[in-house]
Amino acid sequence: MEKHKPIFFIFYLLSFFFVIIFILKINGKFIFDKEIKFVSIDNFFKKEKDTTSNQEKTILSKRLEVQSDSIKLPIYEPKSESELNVYIDSLINISKLDINESDIKPSPFLYNYQINGKYPLDSFFEKLSNSDSSNKLFRIAHYGDSQIEGDRMTFELRKLFQSKFLCEGVGYIPMRDITDPVSYIRKSDESWIRYTVFTNKIKGFSYGQGGSVYRYAPSLKSSLSLNILSSYKKAYLYYGYGSDSCILDVYSSKHKLLASHHINQKSKFNALDLNLSSNETILEFVFRGPSPSVYGLSFDGQKGIQFDNYGLRGQAGDGLMLIPQSELIDIYSKTNTNMAIVQFGGNVVQGIKNEKSLNFYGNMYKNLYLHFKSALNNGSVLIIGINDVSRSVNGIYESYPNISEMRNLQRKSAVENGMAFFDIYQLMGGENSVKIWNEKGLASRDGHYSDKGRAIVCKEIYKALMFEYKKYLTRKKLVHE
Amino acid sequence: MNFDLSLINKWLTYNPSEPMIFQSIEFFILFTVFYLLFSIFYKSIHVRNSLLLLFCLFFYYKISGYFVFILIGMAFFDFIIAKSIHRTRKDFYKKLFLFCSFLINVGALIYFKYTYFFINLINDVSHSNISLTFKILQPIGISYFVFKSLSYVIDVSREVIEEPENDFKNYLVYVSFFPNILAGPITKARDLLPQLNSIKLITSKEIKFAVYLISLGLVKKIVVADFIAANFSDRVFESPQFFSSIDLFMSSYAGLVHLYFDFSGYTDLVVGIAMLLGFEIAGNFNQPFKAKNISDFWKRWHISLYLWLSDYVHQPIAFALRKYKKIGAIIAIFSTFFISGLWHGANLTFVIWGFFHGTAIVIEIISQKTRNQLSNKFKHAYVFLSIFLTFNFLAFSSVLINSPNILFAFNFYHKMFVDIDFGLFSKWLSIYYTPFTIMIVALILQYLPLSWYSFLFKLYNKLPLFIVSTLFGILLIVLYQIASEDSLPFIYIEF
Amino acid sequence: MNIKETLQEIFRTVFEDGELLINEEMTANDVSNWTSLTHLIMIEKVENTFKIKLTLKELIKLKKVGDLLDLIQQKI
């Protein structure tokens, strides 16, 4: 005779969980070195659910200790979700408007702190203020990870500065890349191979200012076509180790020969002015003869400033330290690069497991920043900090737990060593902001900005820089008077 | 140890940012309490159904707040309309009443679900800038409960249901039935209402089958669907510009696999929960990846929706156009898939997706004879090729479902077909080894003979209830570990 | 020709089977070419041949060939 059984079933199941939770207390116990996570007694009697594990919590408690020794840096309180929503909505609204003089206000996210009587960005501002009178173009190298690859972010910044300081061009173009760039269309021959300083380190070989070099060897011919979505006045080829029999021909879209050059300089780095007979935007480059080391192309204005994009997908940034200091100095002086923007951090968050790893990465960034700082000699360095990145915890996306610590360390290294710092993490809203950026279509959950999100961030960076620039101009006037 | 009373308060009130989901501890506890009462009073239909109604309305309140009153109101309206249709003798009034129900149900659906869609469409076409001064929120599950309620009214008017339900309580349970209110299956009134009017003994057999379905559903969802989405396909669809063409190509398959395991897992869970309460509701899937063509696919995928559309959309149109033979049939198919597309989402991507599927079926009708000949000639090879092509068609068309807009989908297709570089595949595989393996294994399991599964199921059925309950408990703990595992780090193909 | 024979002729042409024999208990599952499309073509032929009009409601209630025969009988 069949019986009604639900009560038995409920009894069996509840007894099982009773044993598991209240007697065996399996939450936090280890099986095969794996920590078991399950409902614990606390879950039943406490309202707050706390999912961060013990290891991570120890770092959080250190939050106050990693402040700078010499300069007082702000400590931020996390915002509630509703506050974040209001804040991010206001960012969206502001970004829809054109930038007015009245928007140029002090930004709580940009740290341009005076050290030994000198402001980190002064060298940049000096160039900027002379950009009208000087007839030489100066360059800013923007280094970063996938957040900026394919000219992303750099493009927005360039656009904002170009409209204010009347310059043109798209800057540096690598011969091949994996993403679709936003400011030009490129079709490169299959024979181009990319070598990077961090994966193909060969002694005595040069990898250029961006850490990447392109060669088409063993083939003896290769081509590349470009459609540049901007006007320009000057075009350059950056290369090294040329050979007497290597020739570059540049054609227009109607297959008219615009220029022909011998790629024969034997030194490590050469910037060849292509001297095109007309500045057409659809171009084809044909290389013949043994492959030189090609670092890339560049399309610029006659004068003013240019932003060069060096996006390195998946990189923490440390690989760039493998480019020898001496080479950077040489290249920077040959290309007139006077400033670096360094934007890394998103790729190390998964690696921060404890205080040791946190300090390891903190040190790494300090060294990386100093690497550029000393290569630029008197130039300015702007550090753009780590952005918020989320991960799934019990199926709910939340921020990685130690991003603010990483930001604190990056900020400390920058500020204490005479570099400017832009706090992109706090601009986003701090902890768990990426979740809302994602919901509002501004970013993916792993923190990559959408077009809309990128526009917001870049406008804020631009406005913050412009305010500091205004301050610089007043300071300068005072000195002269 | 202090029990925080506010916790109970939190469990019982609606919080828009945390709607209740089946796979939560909160649901587990509330459901257990309800289930205990429900099974104690199983002999009294009245008490049992009242408890069920209470829980259904509470559940809907927990996911949709005060929209629960809209649900009750609409159910009451259709309840009265159906009675009136049944009572009146005059055909004219029957039609008038049916029309009223249609107006209210479809009107509500259009208002809540499609207002923004139409406004955007008008703005795009006429370059105007109309905007609403208020915000329309959507009652969750409206697409499902409107279809359930409508099918009841139409069935009464078609006299497929001969006697309309007399007890509003039971009818409201049917419309708000908590297992299927969120995302189906769209159970027909003629299947569920009779079960509400009879006493049902819930024996070990029912419980074991329910536990089997719930476990299967959770495994499909947590181990396969969520894992693939969180570690691969969602990432690619979120920002395809950061991924290579091979990532995009593979994510079109992963997107389809995710869609299936997510939805069919969810349906298994729902059918299992209903079974635990002693109700049998038909599932939604029947090995869809074994489909040999698209019309075959729609008999295996989201079956309850397909049957609904076939009964209430395709059949009347095809019947009305029967004079025009094949042309009439083609028009009926396109209309059905147009409505199906819109129903799936208020977005042109869904309309185009529906158009793709409609076109595929029309091509099938036209090529019927040729295909029959080929099938007779090549037999196994033909079957294999049909399944292969159908699967690829499904994967590539599902890109539209995963795209936020048409431009996005277009760029996605462009990158995955035009710029594709298969040379990167081995690199891709070394990065996405785990999601790929899970995907392949899950797919292979789909193609194994059913008899293997029924053999295993027979063995399982011999286990005593005590063992089944314990195994279920262990499974829940294991799944909890997998669900709380961090997602894999983001790695991109570097070259 | 009686109703049944006439219907059989219609079935043979529509379902493309010259040897088809119909009986009261026959359903769509018993005839290979009886699909939703050919079903409507068959209905349309029935309407024209017997000069009758069927409604959707009547059509839905048809479960087997016998039902159809009864319906035609009623309508003529």
Model pLDDT for residues A115-146, shown as the tens digit of each residue: 888 899 999 999 998 888 888 899 999 999 88
Closest residue on chain A to B238 (Cα): A444
* Structure confidence at residue C33 (pLDDT): 77
CA torsion sign for C12, C18, C22, C26 is negative
**Phi and psi torsions of A199, nearest 5°:** -110, -30
State how far residue B429 is from chain A, nearest Cα, in angstroms: 17
Our answer on whether C and A touch (3+ beta-carbon pairs < 8 Å) is no
* Structure confidence at residue A465 (pLDDT): 94
pLDDT at C54 over 90: no
Whether residue A16 and residue B25 make contact (CB cut-off 8 A), yes or no, is no
Q: What is the pLDDT of chain C when averaged over all its residues?
A: 83
Closest residue on chain A to B477 (Cα): A38
Q: Are B180 and B281 in contact (CB under 8 A)?
A: yes
Average pLDDT over residues C12-33: 81
pLDDT at C20 over 70: yes
pLDDT tens per residue across span A167-187: 889 999 999 887 778 889 998
What are the extents of the domains in chain B?
13-200, 205-483
Between A82 and B215, the higher pLDDT residue = B215
Q: Are A6 and A25 in contact (CB under 8 A)?
A: no
Q: CA-CA distance, A419 to A379, in Å (whole number)?
A: 10
Residues 6+ apart with CB under 8 A from A95: A452, A455, A456, A459
Confidence of residue A54 (pLDDT cuts 50, 70, 90): very low
* Structure confidence at residue A50 (pLDDT): 44
- Sheet with A110-111, strands from edge to edge, namely A110-111, A420-422, A380-384, A337-343, A137-144, A304-311
C1: helix, strand or coil: coil
Write the single-letter amino acid at A304.
G
pLDDT at A110 over 90: yes
Cα–Cα–Cα angle for B73, B78, B82, nearest 5°?
Answer: 155
Q: What percent of chain A has pLDDT over 90?
A: 37
Q: CA-CA distance, A330 to A268, in Å (whole number)?
A: 9
Average pLDDT over residues B233-245: 79
Q: Are B64 and B19 in contact (CB under 8 A)?
A: yes
Between A188 and B20, the higher pLDDT residue = A188
Write the single-letter amino acid at B435.
P
Q: How many CB atoms lie within 10 A of CB B330?
A: 20
Average pLDDT over residues A411-426: 92
Whether residue B201 and residue A46 make contact (CB cut-off 8 A), yes or no, is no
* Nearest-CB residue to A391 (from B201, B415, B486): B486
Q: What percent of chain B has pLDDT over 70?
A: 96
Whether residue B17 and residue A81 make contact (CB cut-off 8 A), yes or no, is yes
pLDDT at B141 over 80: yes
Helix (H) or strand (E) holding C68: helix C65-75
Closest residue on chain A to B202 (Cα): A4
Q: CA-CA distance, B106 to B189, in Å (whole number)?
A: 18
In the structure encoding, which two tokens stand for residue B113, read together?
């679900």
Average pLDDT over residues C42-62: 85
Count of CB contacts below 8 A, A vs B? 127
Q: CA-CA distance, B494 to B243, in Å (whole number)?
A: 10
Closest residue on chain A to B201 (Cα): A4
* Structure confidence at residue A41 (pLDDT): 64
Which residues numbered 271-300 in B keep a CB inside 8 Å of some CB on A? 276
Contact list, C59 vs chain B (CB under 8 Å): 319
Whether residue B10 and residue A81 make contact (CB cut-off 8 A), yes or no, is no
Which residues numbered 4-63 in C keep a CB inside 8 Å of some CB on B? 36-37, 40-41, 43-44, 56-57, 59-61
pLDDT at A303 over 80: yes
Residues comprising chain C, all counted: 76
Average pLDDT over residues A258-281: 90
Between A343 and A432, the higher pLDDT residue = A343
State how far residue C22 is from chain B, nearest Cα, in angstroms: 23
Find, among A98, A74, A182, the residue nearest to A408 by Cα: A74
Contact list, B310 vs chain C (CB under 8 Å): 36
* Nearest-CB residue to B230 (from A26, A36, A392): A392
> A77: exposed, middle or buried (C-beta count within 10 Å: 0-12, 13-18, 19+)?
exposed
* Nearest-CB residue to A10 (from B2, B36, B486): B36
| Pure H helices in A309-393 | 325-335, 355-375
Which residues numbered 36-65 in B keep a CB inside 8 Å of some CB on A? 36, 38-40, 42
> A87: exposed, middle or buried (C-beta count within 10 Å: 0-12, 13-18, 19+)?
middle
A243: helix, strand or coil: coil
pLDDT tens per residue across span B264-286: 999 999 999 999 999 999 889 98
Q: Are A270 and A240 in contact (CB under 8 A)?
A: yes
Confidence of residue A66 (pLDDT cuts 50, 70, 90): very low
Q: What is the pLDDT of chain B when averaged over all its residues?
A: 87
Cα A69 to Cα A64, A65, A140, A359, A368, distances in angstroms: 12, 10, 30, 16, 20
State how far residue A256 is from chain B, nearest Cα, in angstroms: 28
Q: What is the pLDDT of chain A when averaged over all its residues?
A: 85
Contact list, B329 vs chain C (CB under 8 Å): 37, 40
pLDDT tens per residue across span A10-24: 999 889 888 888 777
HEC secondary structure over chain B = CCCCHHHHHHHHCCCCCCCCCCCCHHHHHHHHHHHHHHHHCCCCHHHHHHHHHHHHHHHHHHHHHHHHHHHHHHHHHHHHHHHHHHHCCCHHHHHHHHHHHHHHHHHHHHHHHHHHHHHHHHHHHHCCCCCCCCCCCCCCCHHHHHHHHHHHHHHHHCCCCCCCCCCHHHHHHHHHCHHHCCCCCCCCHHHHHHHHCCCCCCCHHHHHHHHHHHHHHHHHHHHHHHHHHHHHHHHHHHCHHHCCHHHHHHHHHHHHHHHHHHHHHHHHHHHHHHHHCCCCCCCCCCCHHHCCCHHHHCCCCCHHHHHHHHHHHHHHHHHHCHHHHHHHHHHHHHHHHHHHHHHHCCCHHHHHHHHHHHHHHHHHHHCHHHHHHHHHHHCHHHHHHHHHHHHHHHHHHHHHHCCCCHHHHHHHHHHHHHCCCHHHHHHHHHHCHHHHHHHHHHHHHHHCCHHHHHHHHHHHHCCCHHHHHHHHHHHHHHHHHHHCCCCCCCCCCCC
| Pure H helices in A282-389 | 325-335, 355-375
pLDDT at A382 over 50: yes
Beta pairing partners, A353: none
Q: CA-CA distance, A276 to A226, in Å (whole number)?
A: 14
Closest residue on chain C to B329 (Cα): C37
In the structure encoding, which two tokens stand for residue B144, read together?
């499902």
A82: helix, strand or coil: helix
Domains for chain C: give ranges and CATH numbers. Answer: 3-75 (1.10.1200.10)
pLDDT tens per residue across span A198-245: 777 666 678 899 989 999 877 888 999 999 988 999 999 999 988 888
State how far residue B117 is from chain A, nearest Cα, in angstroms: 18
Contact list, A44 vs chain B (CB under 8 Å): 3
State how far residue B407 is from chain A, nearest Cα, in angstroms: 14
* Structure confidence at residue C67 (pLDDT): 86
Confidence of residue B5 (pLDDT cuts 50, 70, 90): low
Closest residue on chain C to B326 (Cα): C37
pLDDT at B361 over 80: yes
Confidence of residue A385 (pLDDT cuts 50, 70, 90): very high
Cα B116 to Cα B121, B122, B198, distances in angstroms: 8, 10, 44
pLDDT tens per residue across span A430-445: 888 988 998 888 988 7
Closest residue on chain B to C59 (Cα): B319
Q: What percent of chain A has pLDDT over 70?
A: 90
Whether residue B490 and residue A446 make contact (CB cut-off 8 A), yes or no, is yes
State how far residue C33 is from chain B, nearest Cα, in angstroms: 11
* Structure confidence at residue B489 (pLDDT): 54
* Nearest-CB residue to B159 (from C37, C43, C57): C57
pLDDT tens per residue across span B363-411: 988 887 788 888 888 888 988 999 999 999 999 999 998 888 888 899 8
pLDDT tens per residue across span A399-415: 888 888 889 899 999 99
Q: Are A345 and A386 in contact (CB under 8 A)?
A: yes
Our answer on whether B and C touch (3+ beta-carbon pairs < 8 Å) is yes
Whether residue B159 and residue C61 make contact (CB cut-off 8 A), yes or no, is yes
* Structure confidence at residue B11 (pLDDT): 74
Mutate to test the interface with B, among A1, A3, A5, A389 (most CBs of B within 10 A): A5
Say which range, A86-90, B125-129, B230-234, has the weakest mean pLDDT. B125-129
Q: Are A315 and B492 in contact (CB under 8 A)?
A: no
Whether residue C60 and residue B160 make contact (CB cut-off 8 A), yes or no, is yes
pLDDT tens per residue across span B144-192: 999 999 999 999 988 888 888 888 999 999 999 999 888 879 999 888 9
Which residues numbered 125-184 in B keep a CB inside 8 Å of some CB on A? none
pLDDT at A52 over 60: no
pLDDT tens per residue across span B47-106: 999 999 999 999 999 888 888 999 999 999 999 999 899 888 888 888 899 899 999 999
Say which range, A66-80, B18-32, B309-323, has the weakest mean pLDDT. A66-80
Q: CA-CA distance, B230 to A468, in Å (whole number)?
A: 42
In the structure encoding, which two tokens stand for residue B121, read together?
């469409």
Average pLDDT over residues B2-19: 70
A203: helix, strand or coil: coil
In the block, tokens 């412009």 appear at A466
* Structure confidence at residue A1 (pLDDT): 55
* Structure confidence at residue B94 (pLDDT): 87
* Structure confidence at residue A166 (pLDDT): 80
DSSP-derived letter for residue A214 is E
Cα A100 to Cα A90, A95, A207, B71, distances in angstroms: 17, 12, 42, 50
State how far residue C42 is from chain B, nearest Cα, in angstroms: 10
pLDDT at A58 over 70: no
Between B423 and A274, the higher pLDDT residue = A274
Q: CA-CA distance, A411 to A423, in Å (whole number)?
A: 8
**Phi and psi torsions of B68, nearest 5°:** -55, -30
Domains for chain A: give ranges and CATH numbers. Answer: 6-50 (no CATH), 59-167+304-481 (3.40.50.1110), 168-302 (2.60.120.1360)
